[in-house]
């Protein structure tokens, strides 16, 4: 049984609208989602002793989400991840996008899908958000109708993305939640055990654009096919953290792609997806300057993201995974459960 409640979260400046919060609750999970950016603001789950903690990073008030912040919990688009130099060619025409991440365009541009108010519709076990991205928004061609649905079933939160374009356009949608299974506000994620079921990854250059190589994980720091304790693994391979796409076996049906286990609490996060990639990000750019929920600060490596998506810079480098003319769909399932 899932309950869905609706409340006002806050008002946007200059009378730009009211942001609502939707709370989904089952016997295992409680999830809070707001209509600003379809943002997950809280995900509460019990540990093995039955004590509930919020395991996603974020803010108590709307003002936190309106400031410059690293996409906590939001749906990002029209194109998640990076597009090299903010340009791409489509049907013989060059398109120029907003540059907002070094020399590149990141997560849809200056005002991506995370920075807009979506229209909600309450469902029996969740909530659907929709919006129309107009032709030319942030430099992208064509009008795009988008629907993002969150539904809860026991310990599983399912996120379904659907989009329909008026003309050929790149689309790549994902959720950018930062997790810490010890509870948000815990200082780091080094004691988390990570598994990603991927035989290959995309090496990147100095500005985090894929080099074009699809590299085997065998014998590298990127071989996460068996569980590794994150802190020890980073030390062993002398890496600063992860911000890389792992190449999955994309399919029409959801498939297992990643698992994270926190031994201290017994919490487990499993991710299933239809998408061909997952960006594993270990919060390398968090620096402790933002004041989060309950006064928490979020230093480097205090949260991780598992962003299921198409591959970065696909519109320039990996044409086989360009969406088709009429719609792009993906489904993302988070399965959080207690275990030893």
Sign of CA dihedral 287, 187, 44, 234: positive
Output phi, psi for 69, to 5 deg.
-155, 160
Burial class (CB in 10 A: 0-12, 13-18, 19+), 251: exposed
CB 250 within 8 A of CB 272: no
Q: How many residues does the chain have?
A: 340
213 is catalytic: no
Indicate the DSSP class of residue 104. Answer: B
- CA 310, CA 191: separation in Å to the nearest integer? 29
Q: Provide the b/e sequence for 85-120 (b: ≥16 CB within 10 Å).
A: bbbbebeeeebebebbbeebbbbbbeebbbbbbbeb
Question: What distance in Å separates the CA atoms of residue 194 and residue 128, rounded to the nearest whole number?
Answer: 31
- Token pair 């707001």 is found at 34
The single residue of 20, 128, 137, 307 carrying the catalytic annotation is 307
Asked about 307 being catalytic, the answer comes back as yes
Residue of 128, 138, 176, 193 with catalytic role: 176
198 with 257: CB under 8 angstroms? yes
- Nearest CA among 307, 245, 244 for reference residue 273: 307
CB atoms within 10 A of CB 151: 19
Joined together, the tokens standing for residue 37 give 């950016």
Ordered DSSP codes for 27-76: SSEEEEEETBTTEEEEEEEE-TTS-EEE-B---SSHHHHHSS---TT-EE
Q: What are phi and psi of 62, to 5 degrees?
A: -60, -35
Which positions are annotated as active-site residues? Answer: 176, 307
């Amino acid at each position: 049984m899932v309950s869905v409640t609706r409340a006002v979260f806050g008002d946007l400046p200059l009378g730009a609208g009211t942001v609502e919060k939707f709370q989904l609750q089952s016997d295992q999970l409680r999830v809070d989602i707001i209509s600003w950016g379809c943002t997950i603001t809280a995900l509460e789950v019990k540990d093995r002793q039955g004590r509930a903690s919020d395991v996603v990073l974020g803010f108590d008030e709307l003002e936190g989400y309106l400031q410059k912040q690293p996409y906590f919990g939001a749906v990002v688009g029209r194109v998640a991840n990076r597009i090299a130099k903010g340009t791409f060619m489509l049907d013989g025409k060059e398109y120029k996008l907003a540059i907002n991440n070094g020399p590149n365009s990141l997560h849809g541009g200056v005002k991506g899908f995370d920075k807009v108010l979506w229209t909600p519709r309450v469902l029996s076990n969740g909530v659907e958000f929709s919006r129309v991205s107009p032709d030319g928004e942030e430099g992208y061609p064509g009008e795009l109708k988008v629907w993002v649905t969150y539904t809860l079933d026991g310990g599983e939160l399912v996120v379904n993305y659907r989009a329909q374009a008026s003309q050929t356009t790149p689309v790549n949608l994902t959720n950018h939640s930062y997790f810490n299974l010890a509870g948000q506000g815990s200082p780091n994620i080094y004691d988390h055990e990570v598994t990603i079921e991927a035989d290959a990854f995309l090496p990147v250059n100095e500005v985090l654009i894929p080099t074009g190589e699809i590299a085997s994980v065998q014998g590298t720091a990127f071989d996460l096919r068996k569980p590794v304790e994150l802190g020890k693994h980073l030390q062993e391979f002398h890496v600063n953290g992860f911000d890389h796409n792992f190449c999955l076996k994309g399919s029409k049906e959801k498939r297992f792609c990643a698992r994270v286990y926190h031994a201290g609490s017994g919490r487990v996060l499993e991710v299933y997806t239809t998408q061909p990639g997952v960006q594993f990000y270990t919060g390398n750019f968090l620096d402790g300057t933002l004041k989060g929920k309950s006064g928490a600060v979020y230093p480097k490596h205090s949260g991780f993201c598992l962003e299921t998506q198409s591959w970065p810079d696909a519109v320039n480098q990996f044409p086989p995974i360009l969406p088709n003319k009429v719609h792009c769909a993906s489904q993302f399932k988070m399965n959080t459960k207690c275990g030893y």
